[in-house]
Structure 1
Amino acid sequence: MSFIRTSVGNDVGEIILDRPKALNALDQTMIDDMHRVLLEWGDDDAIETVLVTSASPRAFCAGGDIREIRTNALAGDTAAITRYFAGEYGLDQLVAEYPKPYIALIDGAAMGGGLGISVHGELRIVTENALIAMPEVGIGFFPDVGSTYFLPRLPEGVGMWMGLTGARIRGADAVALGLATHYVPSADLDGVAQRIRDGAGLADALAEYREPVTTDLPLTKIASYFPLGADPVAILGGLQGAVGDEWCDEMATLLQASSPTSVAVTAALLEAGAQSSLAQCLERELHAAEQITVTPDFAEGVRAVLVDKDRNPSWTPATLDEVDPAVVARIVGE
């Protein structure tokens, strides 16, 4: 069976993500099926617009099928790991270069791989239910799917903040930061989707939802404490030095809970990505994915968060101070 469904009508091709038990986490079949369909539709003159939606009320797409990747890593099946990430990143590149309007409707969780199949598209429509994050450092991995390209291009400090802490943001925040293009109340989303399916022009379908949105995120603090290119050890020290600041305490706790190696790798990848094309970032991410999935932290992080769910990983090394720069350089490919 396939975990995606498709429909075509009124010059609109719709891809419906339909793996609700896994919150639409992308397995190999979903990646392959989406890639095939998008290639076909890209050359089909009868299709002018692509719409990507979810059959689950809880999630757009919660990420990649990390549990299966861990299983392959433990079995030493590096070929399967490479195939998965090469396919996923190829799909992300296809979305970024798609020759027709590509619209993602996000009314729920969109994390990791879910951003890969949305952020790179032309329109990203979010609601108040949207929950957006790149939480990979918490499982011994790193923000991928081209995020090392798009995170450094967000407002000052935001990319490092999201990447190093796994912080979660809501729909209006995503629009304000540039990760999404339109904010639509959840109660109105079905109507917007139906107008698009009925062939209404995108300008008409979204005419009521072009007002700018605001965010309550502490952008000044984020820019101050998470500048691109900063050493994560220094970032953590700065947060810990802000005695009595509740937000800084919370961010320090998030940093310390994550894999130190993953945090260091993420900082290096984001710095490199700021000066790279999307294709270069995806190539670098593929190398890093192949390297980091064979480290102890990856197996341990996925175990703690997704397998045993005890949320108590044992990282190696245990602190940022102990991370070996040579290991980071090997993973990043420097």
Structure 2
Amino acid sequence: MVAICHRMTILQKILGCSLQRHQSLVPLVRRMCSSGPDVLLEDIGNKGLITLNRPKALNALNLGMVRTIYPKLQEWENNKSLVIIKGVGEKAFCAGGDVRSITEGGKKGDPITKDFFREEYYLNCLIGTLEIPYIALLDGITMGGGVGLSVHGMFRIATERSLFAMPETAIGLFPDVGGSHFLPRIGGNLGMYLALTGHRLKGRDVLKAGVATHVCDAVKLPELEDTLLKLENPYPEDVSEVLNDFHNAATFEKDKDFSLKPFLPQIEECFSADSVEGIIDRLQKDGSEWALKNLSILSKMSPTSLKVTHEQITRGADLTLQECLAMEYRLTQRCCEDHDFYEGVRATLIDKDNSPHWQPAILADVTKEKLAHYFSPLAADRELTL
């Protein structure tokens, strides 16, 4: 209870205003509405349902959505037995944070560069410490900010339409939203591989990589949702039993091996190097088609992002979620003060020429001093305190 009250105090301090909550919406609207508020919140008996409602933007997470979800999730932790989160439409659970708005605001000196990441990370932390079952239905694209809305929760359900990735090194950022906590814990250096290359996992691979906890046929998701909502005062083991039933009944890709299985020994060997240069050297020595493909991928990423990401994942292996988020907040602020984040978003999302001009342009020019600056503490009043 003390922790919950502390979270509310933090949010009130951030917003500087009283907290507004959306009214509950009827189930018909829940299933059919694709307009209206960016996020729909429903009180369904002793259950809570969050629906991300920006289908045209692939349910990308913006600051308003964070400010809507956070206080409701705090409230529900006190009076609900479980929470389900999903996205509208069949294309995406949540394709990431609205980084275009962040960079556009950053150029104008808008405080969104501070506020968005700070408040998003408070939400990530709340999800990771929630005392009731939190079930994320990862139907469709789940990247960046969408990973933060799901991966720290108790249950993550993948479907045949699931597409997971942390592609931030391609836009001059790094795998944030607690990426430094969950990625190094995947094992076999697979997390480092996913973080640096932005490799995409599809369907049942999301489960086999350890990101999802269960799978479910997409057509069965409404039935799964209704079954969960009909549980009376469920404990986590009751939720797990329901999820196991749908998991065991899932038919898609049932006999298909993990797509990365043939490369796991190479991933473990090459991506265990103690530097990005070391990884590249091992890939060059490997010389296989797989290695050459990954060398080509890495050559397109921001050199600064690659080095920051490698250090971030290395450090995160020994940190708590709260410590990881505090570290990552520092990194976001350094990215927003630098060049590559703005250039990466321009090249990928605005002009879409996919030809970013990174500064510096090569790994050798990302000095130890520059890397140390990224990880150095912010001014005391700017630090993220969880």
| Coarse TM-score class (shorter-chain normalised) | over 0.9
Larger relative contact order (CA 8 Å, sep ≥ 6): 1
RMSD of aligned residue pairs (Cα, Å): 1.7
1:100 to 132, 135, 140: 132
Q: Residue 127 of structure 1 aligns to which amino acid in structure 2? A: T
Alignment deviations for residues 8-48 of structure 1 (CA, whole Å, 9 cap, x no partner)? 2242210000011111111100011010110111122xx21
TM-score normalized by structure 2? Answer: 0.82
1:186 to 210, 218, 222: 218
Alignment deviations for residues 140-184 of structure 1 (CA, whole Å, 9 cap, x no partner)? 000100010110111111111011111111232221222110011
Deviation at 1:318, TM superposition (A): 1.2
Matches within 5 A, 1:291-302: 291-302=334-345
Deviation at 1:187, TM superposition (A): 2.3
2:122 counterpart of 1:76: no
2:253 counterpart of 1:216: no
Deviation at 1:112, TM superposition (A): 0.6
Distance 2:369 2:70 in 1: 36
Matches within 5 A, 1:230-309: 230-243=274-287, 245-309=288-352
Distance 1:247 1:331 in 2: 32
Aligned position for 2:151: 119
Distance 1:41 1:272 in 2: 33
Distance 1:332 1:274 in 2: 16
Deviation at 1:324, TM superposition (A): 1.4
Distance 1:203 1:175 in 2: 15
Deviation at 1:194, TM superposition (A): 1.9
Distance 1:237 1:330 in 2: 26
8 Å CA contact retained: 1:141, 1:293: no
Distance 1:273 1:286 in 2: 13
**Structure 1 runs not aligned, ≥5 long:** none
8 Å CA contact retained: 1:174, 1:180: yes
Q: Residue 133 of structure 2 aligns to which amino acid in structure 1? A: P
Q: Residue 122 of structure 2 aligns to which amino acid in structure 1? A: G
8 Å CA contact retained: 1:15, 1:53: yes
Alignment deviations for residues 84-105 of structure 1 (CA, whole Å, 9 cap, x no partner)? 1010000000000111100000
| Aligned positions, number | 329
**Structure 2 runs not aligned, ≥5 long:** 1-35, 233-237, 249-253, 378-386
Distance 1:59 1:333 in 2: 36
2:85 to 46, 52, 59: 52
Deviation at 1:209, TM superposition (A): 4.0
8 Å CA contact retained: 2:96, 2:142: yes
8 Å CA contact retained: 2:347, 2:355: yes
Deviation at 1:58, TM superposition (A): 0.5
TM-score normalized by structure 1? Answer: 0.94
SS of the residue 2:59 aligns to: coil
Aligned position for 1:9: 44
8 Å CA contact retained: 1:11, 1:199: no
SS of the residue 2:123 aligns to: helix
8 Å CA contact retained: 1:7, 1:13: yes
Alignment deviations for residues 193-247 of structure 1 (CA, whole Å, 9 cap, x no partner)? 22112337424422324559851312212111111x621011112212333x221
SS of the residue 2:41 aligns to: strand
> Could you say which structure has the larger radius of gyration?
2
Q: Percent identity?
A: 37
